[in-house]
Structure 1
Amino acid sequence: MPRSAASSSVASPASPASSLRVAALPFALPLDGVTDQLAQAARAGIGLAVFPEMSLLGTKRVDRLRRAELETLAEPMDGRSLGIVTDAVEATGVAAGVGLLERGPDGAIYNSYVVCMPGGTKHRHRKVYATENPHLQGGARLDVFDTPWGVTMSILIGADNYLPENARVAALKGATLLVAPHRGYAGGSDVSPQRDWFVRALPTHAGDNGMFAVLSDMHGEPNDRGGSGVALIADPSGAVIATGAGMQDPFATAAIDPELARRSLARQWLSARRPELYSSLIALDARDAAGAQRWMTSPPSREVQARGSVAVSFAVVGRRRVSG
């Protein structure tokens, strides 16, 4: 935790009787220092520390790894890394959201994110759009969960946030806080256009759905050195209420009041929805499902490329009347 976080005016950690204070920390979580990191967060009054997507892997890239290499990095839910995080959460009283490669009971490997709560409870989301590596299995659920602070949370990892309807589903299920871990570096050196778009889009999702949103975005450079990440927190009106300030002060903190979400104008309009107007678009037919599967194996590129050529010919015909 950066030094300035410890100088927060909040003197004690959040409790069930108080509002939840969240910190977005856009860097990897070193396991040998996780207790110290969360202890500093506790002294700053932080109740939930949000680390980025795959934060337990450091800046290691996974896009080019073979299946066997992914298996060496993957851990089950009761593995060593989450055990260390869980122990640190218990010692400090600060909940922590961390990203990892999860090995499922069936041997499948998932890009997962787990919020570890004091008391030992873990809330997991498996990334639905796991496009980083063809050996990763995509998740199949968009869940929400309650917390002792009265905040109902949802987790969307990386590209899960790119489709607005995923955030809408979370809101319709009652989420008042969207945790959005991200990993901006996806295999190319020029990531700024995509990251800038996402930084603008996430507060819009918060405002459209009347909930808080926390972005913790870490990116790695091609030489595996960590770059400055992005941290921001948006309120239920879509206003950005906290941001990081680069390498010197990268984290963002804010208090989360679920009543502001429940009373937001967007949340009121959600109750006025008329699903019958677009119900025909909700169910996927076989062709749509096949298209979705193709997207998962070959996601859209940032560049539009020609897919072939079609020969087109034109003829201009003039008609001139000849008088006799």
Structure 2
Amino acid sequence: MPGPGPDIEELPALPGHLSGDVLALAVRAARHDGVKPLSEQTVLQARRLPEDTSSHEAGTHLVVRAEPGGPLVGYGHVDRTDPDHPSAELVVDPDHRRRGVGGALLDHVLRRWPSVRLWSHGDLQDARTLYGSRGLRVVRELWQMARPLAGEWADLPDRVDLPSELEVRSYRVGADDEAWLALNSRAFADHPEQGRMTLADLRDRQSEPWFDPSGFLVLVDSDQVDPEGEPRLAAFHWTKVETDHPDTGEVYVVGVDPDYQGRGLGTAVTLLGLQHLRARGVQTATLYVDGDNGPAIATYHRLGFERSAIDVMYAAGDTGA
């Protein structure tokens, strides 16, 4: 007769010691699987202290133990920012897999949030098997694309031409925050994650060791100024270089204000960011793009990027767009 299932606890935030346990579990899983099991946003949420209530209403942490009071064997995070389609990420300790932990965690999430969408980073076979066993199907693909910035295939133009009224400068922490959030929201109005970035989310990233305002490039329009005389932000390219992987740089986010679209600014600001990464000594540039975003993929192909990895999102039945 099978024993009781694992103990699953729901928490609005993780106390410090438990946050460390969750992040250590994620590291063990990444080493075992060759891919990080949790997104950057989930890691940042896991680090937030209980007294920081900014995300309590929008997220739930699931802590899984083999038995009450036992060691941590699994973890899940449900992001409820979109109440119609919450998204989740699940991870099981490599030493406790194939013991029903993942299935119990998944079933708990599906019972509590029937319209949930679940990420599978790296599209691993174990996740395919588990999600397929519950009748879930792939509803979204997120491609990782890469291109060299060094060697014979790393050609980049020496000059990027911009309209005469636009100039490029580095991001100013604090002074640009509100204007950038407004631009980001406009540029990604239909994006399920990026368009919902808040000031707390932005400050979380500004506090990360990798954050470098000199690699956060903004295009400003000197012909349009606000009441304080500040030029309007037209487009941006936020680059990212992890401190422990200095040879790889990421096209973290590229955005163009809808009022400036159709002028080639996306390509221009992408090239400016790639030039910045190359000047830093980065060998390879990576980026993420939705698999159904044909125009963006075509643009990145023209810039020398090729698909290098894939994340997929699963959902039950017809969950809508």
TM-score, normalising length from structure 2?
0.27
Higher normalized contact order (CA 8 Å, seq sep 6+, divided by chain length): 2
Structure with the largest fraction of strand? 2
Which structure has the bigger radius of gyration? 1
